[in-house]
Amino acid sequence: MDAVEYGRTLQGLTLNLIVRDVARSVPFYTEALGFAVVHQTGDYAALERDGAKIQLHADHTYRRTHWAADLATGIRRGLGAEVRLFGLAPEAVERAALQYGSVLLTTGERAGHGWRDVVVADPDGYTFAAGVSL
């Protein structure tokens, strides 16, 4: 399925994440967070898991946006947003995420909100909390 055909299937909420290197980012999403690749090229990847859809776009594909200059500065991305994924064993996510360029932000021990999770950042700094209900 090409990108145009895939785009026509999208409904509801999806995430578009702008990344420096799609090939570097995909293993984090597939191995650490359990997403499946639906479509991938050198500058784009469509990923799905449990009905959630994430699209990774290389920086240069957004070169005509008003914030393209900010991408070029190397500034941390996604600050202030935390994507939560339920039903993933925090310990497994932590182990896999560290293998694929992630930064560990918290361990699987926090439980103040009714679930145990780990918070990791992907290679570009996007934050994901993955865990299980207590």
* Percentage with pLDDT > 70 across the chain: 96
Identify the CATH number of the domain in which residue 81 sits.
3.10.180.10
- Whether 116 shows a pLDDT value over 90: the answer reads no
Q: What is the Cβ-side half-sphere exposure of residue 92, based on CA atoms within 13 angstroms?
A: 11
Q: What do you get for the CA distance between the two ends of the chain, in Å?
A: 39
Domain that holds residue 18: 3-133
Could you report the per-residue pLDDT of 3-57, keeping only the tens digit for each? 778 888 888 889 999 999 999 999 999 999 999 999 999 999 999 999 999 999 9
122: how many CB neighbours lie within 10 A of its CB? Answer: 25
Tokens of 72: 């070029």
Quick one: pLDDT band at residue 110, thresholds 50, 70, 90? low
- Whether 58 shows a pLDDT value over 70: the answer reads yes
User: Cα 32 vs. chain centroid, distance in angstroms?
Assistant: 10
How high is the pLDDT of residue 32?
95
How high is the pLDDT of residue 111?
60
How high is the pLDDT of residue 7?
82
Closest by alpha carbon to 122, among 26, 53, 44? 26
Query: In total, how many domains does the chain have?
Result: 1
- Whether 67 shows a pLDDT value over 70: the answer reads yes
- Whether 130 shows a pLDDT value over 80: the answer reads yes
Tell me which range, 16-30, 54-68, 76-90, is most confidently predicted by mean pLDDT.
16-30
